[in-house]
Amino acid sequence: MSAGLAVETDGLGKRFRGRDAVTDLALAVPAGSVFGFLGPNGSGKTTTIRMLLGLVSPTSGSARLLDAPMPDRAAAVLPRVGALVEGPGFAGYLSGAANLARLDSADPLADPRTRRRRIGEALDRVGLSAAAGKRVKAYSLGMKQRLGIANALLRPRDLLVLDEPTNGLDPQGTREVRTLVRGLADDGATVFVSSHLLAEIEQMCTHAAVMRAGRLVAQGTLDELRGPSADDRLHLSTPDPEAAIAALAGAGLEPSRAGAEVVAPLRGRAVEDLVPVLVAAGVRVRGVRMAETSLEERFVALTGEGFDVES
């Protein structure tokens, strides 16, 4: 059953001092996907990531990374995994390049002969070449974040685990990270991105999972998560709202007025079939649009709260 999965967990759980941080987690991250790991702060995302990477041992269940059990096979698997975990961590008294060299030397499979070139390329990829020789102490939060991403890119990776990669970045930097993530996926890597920001996940991911209070409440492709299109609605702008309501009701819908518009749940009907009905009834149509259920509505329904709220 693990075929084609880059990350797979089975009943994964972690208890800290009698409190469940993660409970019975069954993640399935398809290889090659850009997988969004979404949930409010404190919903267990980082604990899960720490378990996947072998930093924290699970109190129940098991995890597999790139088809190998963790943490037993960590030495063989982790060189193929690039990670950014809970923000960047670097020695402030060393330069950005020296910090990367240090972490690269900790990887027993990294080739010291190509180290300098790989560090240069990774720094270039995140736009830090100019600051490579500067002490990290003098870096801004955004620069440290980029350096953290550069560390994850020191070698070609099969899996990237990026915990809140756009944290601390300005809008420009956020856009760059998004482009970078898509580029990595195009190169064939699986990207596992956690975030508490829905918009971010919606813009870069193909799949997503939603956490709430340590439990998985949904996972699948973004389309699957959006749910049935039966919830889509027709929004009609017209100077003849009464006539429009009558016509739509005649077509079997339940229209209502919403401000200047007439709104009706589509219930599987196509908008293009309804416009002729309106025109035939003499309704002057100014504008028609279809509103899909947004992920946001869906996720707020799943998590029962907004995404910036502590659970």
Partner 1 sequence: MSSPEPRARIGLPLLATEIAVLFRRKRTWAMLLALAAVPVLVGVAIRIASGPDSGRAPSFLSQVAGNGLFVGIAALVLTIPLFLPLTVGVVAGDTIAGEAAQGTLRYLLVAPAGRARLLVVKFIGAAVFCFAAPLVVAAAGTLTGLALFPVGPVTLLSGDQVGVGEGLLRLLLLALYTGVSMLGLTAVGLFVSTLTDVPVGAMAATVVLAVTSQVLDQLPQLEAIHPFLLSDSWLGLVDLLRQPPEWSTFGGNALLQLGYVVVFGALAYGRFTTRDVLA
Binding residues for partner 1 (CB under 8 A): 50, 53-57, 74-76, 78-81, 83, 85-94, 98-99, 101-109, 111-112, 151, 158
Q: Which is nearer to partner 1, 105 or 172 (CB)?
A: 105
Q: Which is nearer to partner 1, 93 or 286 (CB)?
A: 93
Closest contact distance (angstroms) between CB of 101 and partner 1 is 7
Q: Which is nearer to partner 1, 93 or 260 (CB)?
A: 93
CA dihedral 286, 288, 294, 298 (to 10 degrees): 110
Burial (CB count within 10 angstroms: exposed 0-12, middle 13-18, buried 19+), residue 31? middle
Closest contact distance (angstroms) between CB of 21 and partner 1 is 10
Helix (H) or strand (E) holding 101: helix 96-105
Closest contact distance (angstroms) between CB of 157 and partner 1 is 11
Closest contact distance (angstroms) between CB of 108 and partner 1 is 4
Tokens 């889509």 sit on residue: 232
Q: Which is nearer to partner 1, 83 or 185 (CB)?
A: 83
Closest contact distance (angstroms) between CB of 208 and partner 1 is 23
Burial (CB count within 10 angstroms: exposed 0-12, middle 13-18, buried 19+), residue 32? middle
Burial (CB count within 10 angstroms: exposed 0-12, middle 13-18, buried 19+), residue 203? middle
Do the Cβ atoms of 36 and 207 come closer than 8 Å?
A: yes
Closest contact distance (angstroms) between CB of 161 and partner 1 is 9
Closest contact distance (angstroms) between CB of 262 and partner 1 is 55
Which of 289, 84, 57 has its CA nearest to residue 48? 57
Q: Which is nearer to partner 1, 56 or 234 (CB)?
A: 56
Rounded to whole angstroms, how far apart are CA atoms 19 and 256? 47
DSSP annotation of 230 reads G
Q: Which is nearer to partner 1, 135 or 235 (CB)?
A: 135
Q: Which is nearer to partner 1, 113 or 287 (CB)?
A: 113
Rounded to whole angstroms, how far apart are CA atoms 16 and 295? 32
DSSP labels, 241-302:
HHHHHHHHHHTT---EEETTEEEEE-TT--HHHHHHHHHHTT---SEEEEEPPPHHHHHHHH
Specify whether the backbone of 200 is left (phi greater than 0), alpha (psi in -120 to 50) or beta.
alpha
Q: Which is nearer to partner 1, 103 or 243 (CB)?
A: 103
Closest contact distance (angstroms) between CB of 22 and partner 1 is 13
Rounded to whole angstroms, how far apart are CA atoms 280 and 275? 9
